[in-house]
Amino acid sequence: MYELLLIRYGEIGTKGKNRHMFEQRLRANMEKALQGLDVAGVERAHTRFYVELNQDARDIIARLQKVFGIASMSPVKRVGLDEAHITEAAVQIMDDILARQTDQNGRKRTFKVETHRPNKSFPLTSPEVSRNLGAELLKEFPQLAVDVHTPELRLEVEIRDRFAYVYTERIPGPGGLPVGVSGKAVLLLSGGIDSPAAGHLMMKRGVEPLAVHFHSPPFTSERSREKVLDLARQLAGPGGVIPVHVVHFTEIQKALNLHCPPKLLMTVMRRFMLRIAEAIAESKGAMALITGESLGQVASQTMASLLATGHVVRLPVFRPLIGFDKLEIIELAKQIGTYDISIQPYEDCCTIFVPRHPETQPDLIDVETAEAKMPIDELIQEALERTEVVLCGKD
């Protein structure tokens, strides 16, 4: 039915030099997402992309709906620049829609033609094209009626330099910026519900994530590590890859248990996590850290706790869920397909050795005093040396 899929992207923030980078990255991300499907390639023409549809458009659309930067998509018919061809395409599209329609009990279906004409050398104006085409469609299909205010069907015609495009559907894309255009950041990825959702939101702003996961064998199992890798695969999306740095955290946990007052253990543990994440970020050219923290959710996420933990790093810590309620986070996790993985019941390193009453207002001096008893640099060095990198997603 349709030869092409027209892909629109948001143009805000994509002026000048940025625009070129934005387009190149979006195109590369789309091509990666479409790998394995019978797709000839992605072509670009005047602030749009087109993908040839040789096979079922639904597979292609389903994958592209996960590619950030795409504003919307329309399956289109592309025809020569004359009214006869435009009408012929419009009739075919309407015919197809009306043939699939269930009985309307004699009620007419309403429609409207909308014409966009960037090509000003086309001999007819937009209103003329719309009017003529509307009249042809009414002649052809007695079951149609025009409604210019609230039509059930909107038939759009775009008249461009070499071709005209005819379509009815606008399928929303995920919006945002193409992954990669904003640079890299390190996502602290636990097996919980929050951190994958936080990663998703930052990817939507163009961040290319690399993940860090802290695990503490034998206190945490192989299955809990696998679960985190599954989360990273889901987050990577079609064609994407997220490297997960699995950090051996056992020795640090043991040292914490030995030296740290139980009330401050959580705070000091987070400080170790952030320091290690920052070291990995710096070695990989990443410019920020990302966590799934949400203000007030637990003791380690009060303002005083965030202050005490964030204090040890120089890089900005992005906490995109800071103002989200848990229910909103769950909703988002369900939408992005990480929820069902996250709720699998495997232990996390944070859930072992954790005191029943952690400090909600940790004092920076107390925290630093507690830490002073520990060989911080050696512990971090050792954990970094025992880090394994797993590439998650399609390579």
Check residue 55 and report its DSSP letter: S
- Check residue 196 for interaction with Mg ion (CB under 5 A): no
**From the list ligand ATP, Mg ion, none, partner contacted by residue 23 (C-beta under 5 to 8 A by kind):** none
Q: Is there a contact between 178 and 21 (Cβ–Cβ < 8 Å)?
A: no
Within residues 154-193, the interface with Mg ion by CB under 5 A covers 190, 192
Within residues 295-314, the interface with ligand ATP by CB under 6 A covers 297-298, 300
**From the list ligand ATP, Mg ion, none, partner contacted by residue 1 (C-beta under 5 to 8 A by kind):** none
- Check residue 359 for interaction with ligand ATP (CB under 6 A): no
Tokens of 139: 């002649």
Q: Is there a contact between 171 and 73 (Cβ–Cβ < 8 Å)?
A: yes
Within residues 257-276, the interface with ligand ATP by CB under 6 A covers 273
From CA 195, how far away is CA 293, in angstroms rounded?
8
Angle (CA) 19 198 385, round 5°: 100
- Check residue 87 for interaction with ligand ATP (CB under 6 A): no
- Check residue 349 for interaction with ligand ATP (CB under 6 A): yes
Least distance from ligand ATP to the Cβ atom of residue 190, Å: 3
- Check residue 350 for interaction with ligand ATP (CB under 6 A): yes
- Check residue 253 for interaction with ligand ATP (CB under 6 A): no
Q: What is the residue-wise DSSP string for 60-102?
A: HHHHHTTSTTEEEEEEEEEE-SSHHHHHHHHHHHHHHHHHHPP
Q: What is the residue-wise DSSP string for 187-232?
A: EE--SSSHHHHHHHHHHHBTEEEEEEEEE-TTTS-HHHHHHHHHHH
- Check residue 188 for interaction with ligand ATP (CB under 6 A): yes
Cβ-proximal residue to Mg ion, closest one: 192
Interface stretch with ligand ATP, choices 22-30, 103-111, 292-300, 376-384 (CB under 6 A)? 292-300
Burial of 295 from C-beta contacts in 10 A (0-12 / 13-18 / 19+): middle
- Check residue 235 for interaction with ligand ATP (CB under 6 A): no
**Size of residue set near ligand ATP by CB under 6 A:** 20
Binding site for ligand ATP (CB under 6 A): 188-190, 192-195, 212-214, 273, 291-293, 297-298, 300, 348-350
Binding site for Mg ion (CB under 5 A): 190, 192
